[in-house]
């Protein structure tokens, strides 16, 4: 067995491993290992992921990595990161993968939340990759927007499912093996974690489906269904709280009830109430109309306290100046009014009285 080196990740830059992969620069690093930009023996670009010594010091972890690497090496799908080779260098297991250029779904959402229908399409591509993995008996167990990479070729997006670091193999397909994950252990990311993952219960394809429900919800709305100040509170919400309607998370968002129902089913608390696997969820989404979510620019889909939607019966009428309170008068007639006639008679009688008085004074 190769002696495990304690060499820092930076020290591998410039070295050639396995006599054919030259590590050019370190482009990323996590708790489990470092990722390098590299070239193969023919000068073609590639990426190399090498595990840290502390991550493989445990024989069980190393056995799991090697077993999982063999399964991932067999996965070939446009929406799954291509693993081209694997091996061991100085006691450290490594994977050779395709080199990608672009950004993660998480970065896309943070930079500028995509148009809702674009979000649905990106989620659909991710589901295709996950459905393929499920069909091969591979569970991801850490689905999140950070683990989906997006490339752009000038005409279209391509989503690639990455980082199967917490992958679990289906023993019914890959054969029995020792149990490498302790019962009660928690794996995954809190914002995307299914209720059973949060409690350390047994996971299966429906746990990945739950996480994909969170990813699709995030792509359409720009937000997670559940957000909290602490992991404990977030676990509680995943366990007990129903997901808010997506339209409540994004201004003027309109979502077809069919899409809402698909995502709500993916986010069901009980595994038995979810889609059986990513393939079943994908089939439901692909059956949707071409446009299943959009922003209503007029704002009529989400009325506010200031602007209310206009009923479709008739167009709005302009506001008129307020009219004075009506007085109880008789219906109009074609001739002079009664009040006018009475006034004239009064004037005539007054004139007669004045004339009679003047005549009486003169005759005295």
- Measured between alpha carbons, how far is 187 from 166 in angstroms, rounded to an integer? 7
Interstrand relation of 21-29 and 293-295 (parallel, antiparallel or unpaired): unpaired
**Cβ contact 141:168 at 8 Å:** yes
Residue of 2, 115, 142, 277 with catalytic role: 142
Q: Which residues pair with 152 in a beta bridge?
A: 157
3-class SS at 94?
A: strand
For residue 61, what are its two tokens? 């972890």
Report CA-CA distances (Å) from 244 to 61, 100, 285.
38, 35, 20
For residue 298, what are its two tokens? 């007029």
- Measured between alpha carbons, how far is 81 from 129 in angstroms, rounded to an integer? 9
Q: Known catalytic residue: 142?
A: yes
- Measured between alpha carbons, how far is 349 from 364 in angstroms, rounded to an integer? 23
Query: Dihedral of CA 5/64/104/232: which sign?
Result: negative
Give how far the C-alpha of residue 225 lies from the chain's centroid of Cα atoms, to the nearest Å. Answer: 8
Q: Which residues participate in catalysis according to the annotation?
A: 142
């Amino acid at each position: 067995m190769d002696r495990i080196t304690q060499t820092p990740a930076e020290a591998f830059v410039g070295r050639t491993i396995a006599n054919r992969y030259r590590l050019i620069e370190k482009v990323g690093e996590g708790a489990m290992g470092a990722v390098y930009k590299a070239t193969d023996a023919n000068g073609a670009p590639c990426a190399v992921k090498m595990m840290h010594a502390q991550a493989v010091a445990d024989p069980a972890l190393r056995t799991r990595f090697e077993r999982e690497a063999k399964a991932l090496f067999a996965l070939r799908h446009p929406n799954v990161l291509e693993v081209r080779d694997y091996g061991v260098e100085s006691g450290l297991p490594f994977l050779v993968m395709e080199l990608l250029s672009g950004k993660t779904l998480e970065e896309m959402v943070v930079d500028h939340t995509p148009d809702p229908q674009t979000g649905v399409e990106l989620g659909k591509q991710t589901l295709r990759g996950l459905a393929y993995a499920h069909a091969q008996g591979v569970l991801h167990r850490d689905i999140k927007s950070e683990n989906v990479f997006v490339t752009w070729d000038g005409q279209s997006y391509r989503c690639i499912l990455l980082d199967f670091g917490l992958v679990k193999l289906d023993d019914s397909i890959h054969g029995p093996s020792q149990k490498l994950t302790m019962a009660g252990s928690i794996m995954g990311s809190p914002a995307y974690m299914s209720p059973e993952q949060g409690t350390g219960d047994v996971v299966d394809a429906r746990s990945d489906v739950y996480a994909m429900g969170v990813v699709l919800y995030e792509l359409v709305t720009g937000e997670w269904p559940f957000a909290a100040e602490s992991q404990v509170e977030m676990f509680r919400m995943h366990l007990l709280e129903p997901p808010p309607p997506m339209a409540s998370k994004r201004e003027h968002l309109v979502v077809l009830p069919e899409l809402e129902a698909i995502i709500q089913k993916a986010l069901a608390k009980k595994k038995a109430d979810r889609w059986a696997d990513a393939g079943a969820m994908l089939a439901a989404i692909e059956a949707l109309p071409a446009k299943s979510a959009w922003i209503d620019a007029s704002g009529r889909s989400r009325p506010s306290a200031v602007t209310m939607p206009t009923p479709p019966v008739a167009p709005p009428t302009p506001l008129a100046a307020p009219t004075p309170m009506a007085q109880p008068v008789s219906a109009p007639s074609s001739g002079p009014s009664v009040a006018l006639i009475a006034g004239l008679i009064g004037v005539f009688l007054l004139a007669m009285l004045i004339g009679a008085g003047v005549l009486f004074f003169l005759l005295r």
